[in-house]
Amino acid sequence: MKNNDRIIAPEWKDYELIDCGGGRKLERFGSVVLDRPEIAADAEAKLSPREWEQQTDSVFAQTSPNEGDWSRPLPPWKITFNGKTRLVFNLQINQFKHIGVFPEQSVNWEYIADILKEKATGGGIRALNLFAYTGGASLAAKAMGADVSHVEALSQLITKAKENMESSGLEHIRWIKEDALKYVHKEVKRGKKYDLVVMDPPSWGRGPKGEQWKLEKQLDELLFSVSQLLNPGAELIINTYSGIGPNQLKDQLDKHVQFKSFEMGELILQANSGAEFSTGSLLRGQVG
């Protein structure tokens, strides 16, 4: 058992957190450097405003709670994660600050590769990725031979995940456009079981039919329902980003799941400048 205060996201060639602070982060994705808002980066930046400006290709300015504008248009581009699996992500800027990848999740892609290698390189492993975004965890599991179900409520994100799968030289991921909690309820009724479940629930959101999701209200229901889908010895990975600390997350899980082994802590992104910020809580491990 590991109760870590900090889990450090690994470095990779095509991604670099250059600096962060003052509610913003300066990041390099391949050859593109972006300046984006980041509420968790509340300390002081290490580099000067001039140093930020000299490096930046485009800056995102918020115009509403969910949308904004970029200072400079950029064509779509690709980046590659060359870790224990090779994953390719298709990126682009739009009216949102998100561009198609959460780089800190590479810590979980590597974990997935390790655990599936131990399970005969994923052969016969059934994996479920909930709130799956553009599919980093789905790609990592598929690259190791797992049978992967990818659940995401937004069509445009499933389209992007399919592009990432094809660019990564993979195939046969099962795409499910559905509210994650609703899908879990259906799988429980169908008696389905999984050997790996990955969850990255947002603080709030809406399903494809307008279903409302609020993490603080529905997390316990989600954890209870997911616990019924886990085979003995299954692996569970969950991230939260809304102020739920690792110990609080573990306390909620303990009501529904017993772990043989686990690791938990705040997932930290460290900048080359020496600055850093927490991207939220991470708990992962093997259940009993």
Q: Can you spell out the DSSP letters for 187-248? A: HHHHT--EEEEEE---SEEE-TT--EEEHHHHHHHHHHHHHTTEEEEEEEEEEE-SS--HHH
Whole-number pLDDT of residue 206: 60
Whole-number pLDDT of residue 5: 83
What proportion of the chain, given as a percentage, has pLDDT over 90?
Answer: 83
Q: Is the pLDDT of residue 120 over 70?
A: no
* Three-state SS at 186: helix
Q: Is the pLDDT of residue 225 over 60?
A: yes
Residues in the chain: 288
Whole-number pLDDT of residue 288: 86
- pLDDT, tens digit (0-9, with 9 covering 90-100), for 167-221: 999 999 999 999 999 999 999 999 999 999 999 887 656 656 666 656 667 888 9
Write out the residue range of the structural domain in which residue 26 sits.
2-287
117 pLDDT band, cuts 50/70/90, is confident
The average confidence (pLDDT) of the chain is 92
Domain tally, the chain: 1
CATH number at residue 121: 3.40.50.150
Q: Is the pLDDT of residue 243 over 80?
A: no
- For residues 39-47, give the mean pLDDT: 96
Range name among 23-27, 72-76, 120-124 with the lowest pLDDT average: 120-124
Q: pTM for the complete prediction?
A: 0.93
Instruction: Please check whether residue 152 is in contact with residue 131, taking contact to mean a CB–CB distance below 8 angstroms.
Output: yes
Residue 47 sits at the vertex; the CA angle it makes with 16 and 20, to the nearest 5 degrees, is: 50
